[in-house]
Structure 1
Amino acid sequence: MTVDIRPAIWATFETVMGERGGCGGCWCMLWRRTSKEMEAGKGEGNRRAMKALFDGGQVPGLVAMHGDDAVGWVQIDRRTAFPRLATSRTLKPVDDQKVWSVSCFFIDKTFRRRGLSLNLLNAAVDWAQAQGANVVEGYPIDTPKKKYPPVYAWTGFVETFRKAGFVEVVRRSDTRPIMRKTLQGEERDKDG
């Protein structure tokens, strides 16, 4: 499978999310909004909120292109862009380091179980590093894949993160570690 992974533009992101807007109308806004905002915005409200990020010139993630088709998505941004992580009992900050977070994956069902999530994760790390990141963090599921439907594993699986060189730094839940990858090079990003 040959894919080209690149910064998302609205059209490619919208294609990957499909008519339903990803999982249940989330439009990948779960970590960017409070629980109340997320529920109230389910569907069109979340779509508008994400489109506003794109319209404002932000690049909230990367897409995988298979020819002309957008088939995968990974959300990557400074952790501060995801205020809901800060209020999570399980995923709250480990320390005061300025980290970038890989918060969501969404892969077209015909491209699942083919290694695309690892390709997306590696590309996200490279992209964050190019933006000045020193540490990238993720919040994968640690449970056997056969027992956990991939469509609900939108934060990724732990084995994918291990293959990409991430290490577990804390685990506040049996199934949800916080994993990090420290990037090489001198400190570049004073803001995150």
Structure 2
Amino acid sequence: MNADARVPREPDGPKQWSFEVHPATVDRFDDLTAILSPQNPAAAACWCLSYRIPPQEFRALTGEERPARLRRYAEDGVPPGVIAYVDGEPAGWCSVSPRASHSRLAHSQTIPAVDDVPAWSVVCLVIRPEFRRRGMAHQLLGGAVSYARSQGAPVLEAYPIDPQGERISAAFAYTGTTELFEAAGFQRIVPTTSTSGGKMRWLMQLSLD
């Protein structure tokens, strides 16, 4: 899958970004590492595993072990999400894959499934600091939607926070906001009892049929 778009390097600059989105296949895992890796490789970064694997396994993995655990999804032939590139440089990440592949979601009491449709889930969006504030989150999400549709997903779900007009800390921005997903055509289905940064999260859906 390849989603191309053009975004400005500077608001008044003549040069344009070259923007692409690709699945996080094994051959692109070094690019994903460039986006998700913390400054200290031993730090207990999430590596988009907290929803995917059982809590006991997640807690048992050291920070240095977690990248290899995420890579296993790509090695098994199911990319765990998509990578955004700007001028060929890895710039952003969106975790998008079948909800059934997320152990924590499958057993969640705070974000329960609303029906039996085999939905796909967006659980995380990350943009490297140097590429923020250019509207890239919208294009990254658009690439994730296109990828899920290309893989036959009937419905795409997300669980963003509702900022209610307040500024959101970057530490909690990984969920995305209700406004971001509404702009992409998602609809609010039910409020959840899950929170992030003290803000309520909604279960939102976009039909891909």
TM-score normalized by the length of structure 1: 0.87
- Counterpart among 100, 104, 125 of residue 120 in structure 2: 100
Aligned twin of 1:4: 20
- Counterpart among 157, 170, 178 of residue 177 in structure 2: 157
Aligned twin of 2:206: 181
Q: Does structure 1 residue 86 correspond to structure 2 residue 79? A: no
1:23-43 per-position Cα deviation (integer Å, ceiling 9, x unaligned):
941111111112222222141
Counterparts of 2:100 and 2:54, CA distance in 1 = 13
User: Deviation at 1:72?
Assistant: 0.1
CA contact (8 A) 1:90 1:176 kept: no
1:154-183 per-position Cα deviation (integer Å, ceiling 9, x unaligned):
121111000000001111236100000012
**CA distance 1:70–1:82, shift in 2 (3 Å):** same
Of stretches 75-84 and 137-146 in structure 1, the one that deviates more from structure 2 is 137-146
Letter in 2 for 1:180: Q
Q: Does structure 1 residue 52 correspond to structure 2 residue 72? A: yes
**CA distance 1:145–1:107, shift in 2 (3 Å):** farther
SS, match of residue 149 in structure 2: helix
Higher radius of gyration, 1 or 2: 2
User: Deviation at 1:50?
Assistant: 0.7
SS, match of residue 154 in structure 1: helix
User: 1:108-119 residue pairs with structure 2 within 5 A?
Assistant: 108-119=128-139
What RMSD over aligned residues (CA atoms) do the two structures have, in Å? Answer: 1.9
- For structure 2, the residue ranges without an aligned partner over 5 or more in a row are 1-6, 8-16, 194-198
- For structure 1, the residue ranges without an aligned partner over 5 or more in a row are 185-192
Aligned twin of 1:16: 35
Superposed structure 1 runs of 4+ greater than 6 Å apart = none
SS, match of residue 36 in structure 1: helix
Letter in 1 for 2:23: P
- Counterpart among 52, 57, 64 of residue 32 in structure 1: 52
**Which structure shows the bigger proportion of residues in strand conformation?**
2
User: Deviation at 1:146?
Assistant: 4.8
- Percent identity between matched residues is 33
1:93-116 per-position Cα deviation (integer Å, ceiling 9, x unaligned):
111111011111111012223221
**CA distance 1:151–1:78, shift in 2 (3 Å):** same
**How many aligned residue pairs are there?**
183
